[in-house]
Amino acid sequence: MSNDINSTPHTDMSTEISAETNIFSLAYAQNLDQNDPLAAMREHFSIPKQADGSNEYYFTGNSLGLQPKLARAAVIELLDAWQTRGVKGHFEGEFPWLPYHEFLTEQAAEIVGALPQEVVMMNSLTANLHFMMASFYQPTAKRSKILIEHHAFPSDHYAVESQLKHHGKSVDDNLLLWTPRAHEELLNYQDLWQLIEQHGDEIALILLPGVQYYTGQVLDMAGITEVAHAKGIKVGFDLAHAAGNIELSLHQWQVDFACWCSYKYLNSGAGSVAGCFVHQRHVENTELNRFAGWWGHDKSSRFKMENTFKPIPTAEGWQLSNPPVLSLAAVRGSFDTISLAGGMPALRKKSLLLTDYMMRLIKAELGEKIRIITPQAPAERGCQLSLMLNVDGLDGKAMFNALEENGVTTDWREPNVIRVAPVPLYNNFQDVYHFVRILKECL
């Protein structure tokens, strides 16, 4: 197949990064890369190879981000410290282990739009959701319901149901679902406002994603929080697909709590330490119910080994155990890489250009054969585009496998979506061009 997909001109693409008018040519993609201020960031990552030694076309940062070279260096640095210092590594060196999580606080706060005292890197995502619900789901005779979305990530659904059961509440009577309308994939806000209006006095907690994992829909977290708070409802967000993907302002939005993993867009390795946000008005309330552990105890008296818990008046007060520093080292390397790129504003700017370019190519080259269910509006999408095959007799999973055989790594989610995430830190415009070229060849 020719390197030029076709020669149809298009003049609506941003001229900020290229004056080329033929967006369907490889030369256009190359020109975009040459004018991309973040192009050099790709060299900070290890990109998996195909059998012939060439780079994969990797579009699965929404599932597992690629390895930053700084993350590898930080882990090796810590292993060397363990080898040479033993237990003294807790107190010695540039990055001693005892306060290691504190080295990540400022950058984590910047990524999610929070004050430093509102964030902490700890535990895993679902564990953090449980710890947050221990504090923020306190059902009463009148307020006992939890509202989630119908197609919530299964782990979130399991966590919420188990919390209801833990409090002796009937799931059938106390779980409210925000469901897409018939024959639609996206969530409609009018339906949510109606649920809140109808059940507001009965709802204790709303727990929703920042970005819906299946469709890639970015939710209006500020608007949801404002409407819910007006009814006296606590609000939390699962930011697994939002942290490191879109710009967030959790403090300003007045969100009560949020949790996220760090191995997707934050590129810290499979199962790495997660993050947690608790708004300032709550962290200062040391009487707030919580599950306690010694790493959440006042630092000045922690090692006096007393049995009266005195929580730290920051998000650190929700910590239980001393954190796994090997994992935190990978997070530190990843955060340093994001800082090198200029932080979330720079990443978001490129992300929107990448997804816009991909959508234009797909629409022009594949027409009705591929349906993009992710919202088209920039404010309603992140890195991920969710694609549905719309060709009689062809199976979406078979297409996913065909892409894999041709060196393209995407992500399949039942029942029928291929998730494609061009990540601005390491994907470039040529990756996007070749993805659409190979997709067309496979069709």
Percent with pLDDT over 90 in the chain = 92
pLDDT above 70: residue 18: no
> What pLDDT, in 10s, does the model give residues 201-226?
999 999 999 999 999 999 999 999 99
Preceding amide of 324 cis, omega within 30: no
Residue 325 lies in a domain: yes
Residue 353 lies in a domain: yes
Q: Does one domain contain both 326 and 349?
A: no
392 pLDDT band, cuts 50/70/90, is: confident
Task: Please say which residue of 340, 360, 381 terminates a domain.
Answer: 340
394 pLDDT band, cuts 50/70/90, is: confident
Q: Does one domain contain both 298 and 357?
A: no
Q: Does one domain contain both 49 and 116?
A: no
In the chain, the amino acid numbered 404 is: E
Residue 174 lies in a domain: yes
> What pLDDT, in 10s, does the model give residues 150-196?
999 999 999 999 999 999 999 999 999 999 999 999 999 999 999 99
Expressed in angstroms, the distance from the first to the final Cα of the chain is: 13
Residue 17 lies in a domain: no
Interatomic CA distance for residues 144 and 174, integer angstroms: 6
Q: What is the mean pLDDT of the chain?
A: 94
Q: Which of 411, 433, 54 is nearest to 241 (CA)?
A: 411
How many Cβ atoms sit within 10 Å of the Cβ of residue 245? 31
Task: Please say which residue of 305, 340, 375 terminates a domain.
Answer: 340
Residue 15 lies in a domain: no
Q: Does one domain contain both 131 and 277?
A: yes
> What pLDDT, in 10s, does the model give residues 299-327?
999 999 999 999 999 999 999 999 999 99
| CATH code where residue 374 lies | 3.90.1150.10
In the chain, the amino acid numbered 16 is: E
Q: How far is CA 108 from CA 111, 184, 268, 336, 393, in A?
A: 5, 35, 13, 11, 47
Q: Does one domain contain both 245 and 298?
A: yes
Task: Please say which residue of 306, 340, 374 terminates a domain.
Answer: 340
Q: Does one domain contain both 284 and 349?
A: no
The tokens for 183 are 């024959």
Domain encompassing residue 231: 73-340
pLDDT above 50: residue 13: no
Say if residue 337 is exposed, middle or buried (CB neighbours under 10 Å; 0-12, 13-18, 19+). buried
Q: For 80-201, list the strands marked E by DSSP.
A: 119-121, 145-149, 175-178
| CATH code where residue 112 lies | 3.40.640.10
Positive or negative CA dihedral for 338, 341, 342, 343? negative
**What's the half-sphere exposure (Cβ side, CA atoms, 13 Å) at 120?**
27
pLDDT at position 246, please? 98
pLDDT at position 10, please? 35
**Burial per residue of 427-441, b for 16 or more beta-carbon CB atoms within 10 angstroms, e otherwise:** bbbebbbbbbbbbbe
Residue 68 lies in a domain: no
Q: Does one domain contain both 113 and 253?
A: yes
In the chain, the amino acid numbered 150 is: H
pLDDT above 80: residue 2: no
As for how many domains the chain has, the answer is: 2
Interatomic CA distance for residues 220 and 420, integer angstroms: 22
227, containing H or E segment: helix 221-230
* The CA-based dihedral angle spanning residues 110, 215, 144, 226, taken in that order and rounded to the nearest 10 degrees: 50
Q: Any idea what DSSP says for residue 60?
A: B
Q: Does one domain contain both 238 and 352?
A: no
Residue 133 lies in a domain: yes
24 pLDDT band, cuts 50/70/90, is: confident
> What pLDDT, in 10s, does the model give residues 251-306?
999 999 999 999 999 999 999 999 999 999 999 999 999 999 999 999 999 999 99
DSSP string, 288-323: S-----GGGB-TTTGGGT-SS--B-SSGGGG--S--
The tokens for 133 are 């619900």
Q: Does one domain contain both 102 and 120?
A: yes
Alpha carbon 176 to its chain centroid, in Å, reads: 24
Residue 171 lies in a domain: yes
pLDDT above 50: residue 20: no
Q: Does one domain contain both 36 and 101?
A: no
Q: Does one domain contain both 258 and 304?
A: yes
pLDDT at position 21, please? 56
Q: What is the mean pLDDT of residues 90-97?
A: 96
Q: Does one domain contain both 137 and 92?
A: yes
Q: What is the mean pLDDT of residues 112-132?
A: 98
Interatomic CA distance for residues 420 and 442, integer angstroms: 16
pLDDT above 60: residue 5: no
Which pTM was predicted? 0.93
